[in-house]
Amino acid sequence: MACLPLEKFFCWNLKTSQFASAIYVIISAFFALLLVILDMAASDINNGFEIEGGFRSIWRRHVAEGFMTCNVVMLFGHIIMIVLSIVLLMSVTKPFKQYRNYQIHTGWFWIMCIYVFAEAVVSAYEYSWYGKNTFRRPYLVFLWVFMLTRFILNMCTICISYSRLSEMDEEMRYGISRKTLPMSRTNLLSSQASFA
């Protein structure tokens, strides 16, 4: 956490980065929602299922029920994150009062943390049951790579959101941006460069 809060994310300021990350969450959660809906439509709890071309394994009914429970939890999680990200987009683009924006960003940040944790736990549960079969079927490999990529990008989104919250906190506390504070990292580095 020594590198947080960020001053910028690549070439974007934090407000633009937060806007882009909210759009990313909407798009990726929508695709993940579609995958969950397809998985729920294709699953059959009553009959045992076998991965064609995979290693032989004994699938029990409670495994299929566990998968369905995970799908239901993530279905609601994806819907909640899509709705909250749309609210965050409205908060970034519309001129709300600063404390209202801060409350919306704080709520989105904490729910995003819970969402990423829940998605990691659900993925770990599902892939622990697939075991050696994970890399035997193309759709399982796709799901595994998709969830791993989303996890990494969601962690970047959390870092951006944390940095934006810190910036908003300083703006509310001091009434000015952190870049204009005399003891900020940016000003310290530029003043050291001028003495050399």
What is the pLDDT tens value at each position of the chain, 196 positions in all?
456 666 666 666 777 888 889 999 999 999 999 988 888 887 665 555 555 555 555 555 566 777 888 889 999 999 999 999 999 998 888 877 777 888 888 999 999 999 999 999 988 887 777 666 666 667 777 888 888 999 999 999 998 888 888 888 887 777 766 555 555 555 444 444 444 4
pTM (two decimals): 0.76
Work out the number of other CB atoms within 10 angstroms of the CB of residue 123. 19
What distance lies between CA 7 and its chain's CA centroid? 20
Check if the beta carbon of residue 166 is closer than 8 Å to that of residue 159.
no
Cis, bond preceding 138 (omega within 30 deg of 0): no
Asked if residue 112 belongs to a domain, the reply is: yes
Amino acid at the residue 163 = S
Asked if residue 191 belongs to a domain, the reply is: no
Asked if residue 194 belongs to a domain, the reply is: no
Asked if residue 53 belongs to a domain, the reply is: yes
Residue span of the structural domain in which 49 resides: 14-181
Asked if residue 4 belongs to a domain, the reply is: no
Q: Is the dihedral of CA 65, 71, 74, 80 positive or negative?
A: negative
How many angstroms separate the CA atoms of 3 and 33, rounded?
33
Q: Tell me, what's the pLDDT at 181? A: 55
How many angstroms separate the CA atoms of 62 and 24, rounded?
34
Q: Tell me, what's the pLDDT at 191? A: 46
| Domains identified in the chain, total number | 1
Asked if residue 131 belongs to a domain, the reply is: yes
Asked if residue 79 belongs to a domain, the reply is: yes
Q: Tell me, what's the pLDDT at 194? A: 42
Q: Tell me, what's the pLDDT at 85? A: 93
Asked if residue 2 belongs to a domain, the reply is: no
